[in-house]
Homo-oligomer: A and B are copies of this chain.
């Protein structure tokens, strides 16, 4: 089956202590879509301006990503600029130019409305809901978010969470949402908001799944070189959804394995700026790291 992915499609200017890269292809939907494309057909929903470089359209196409839902509007593409600190753990936003994203209201092509798997990658929760409103009985709906929406659009986010099968957030967002220091107590509170599955991302410490079969402690792939973590969380959830959509097994049976694939794809994402490393992943490289993660956690 295929996965529909809505989110931001952006140009990212990223500074790290060692490098500076202007106007790379970025955005939550770009990272998630490329990550999912290793596993199943992907339909991308988003918006770009008329400055969007044609080489980035080509990049999507090389990954066989369906662009019928990608609007091209007069104006500038969403541009984000950020800088990482020396330890690469903290980043600060230098600039956010919304451009065509400011008035974006996605209308799904007819053929998209019956897609079984839906990933509402990180954008405003009202837009995520707006896309979901147009879907016809999706089989499995996941959403990611960020601290910004917890700060400025919490009621919208709470409304959205009720409608999800899977909600993905990071550990500090889980604390912020629930006012709970203990992650496992926070997980229980998030389930009470609606979703059957909750995944908490902990960066280099891996991630936690909570669902009907209890908890799963998912390791991060050990990275000796971290070039740019931008988009790692989007890649993680994109690969998870691609994996789930590609499998004949039920989500219940497949979700742990999907998270391992998510960890692996996210690890590649961190090894290059923007999507430069992710786009060069081979199926053999994914399989190798999955089997390494098995060995790294076996006891």
Contacts and interface: CB of A to CB of B under 8 A. Distances in A.
Nearest to A299: B256
Interface in A179-200: 181-185
B87 A181 contact: yes
Query: Chain A at the B interface: mostly helix, strand, loop or mixed?
Result: mixed
A235 B185 CA distance: 24
A183 B223 CA distance: 9
Contacts of A218: 299
How many copies the complex holds: the figure is 2
A226 interface: yes
Interface string A189-213: 0000000000000101110100000
A297 B299 CA distance: 10
Contact of A297 (B86, B226, B297): B297
For this complex, into which size category does the number of interface residues on chain A fall? 20 to 34
Contacts of A224: 182, 184-185
Interface of A: 86-88, 181-185, 202, 204-206, 208, 214-219, 222-226, 256-257, 259-260, 294-299
Question: Top 6 nearest A-B pairs by Cβ distance?
Answer: A205-B205, A256-B299, A87-B181, A217-B219, A184-B224, A217-B296
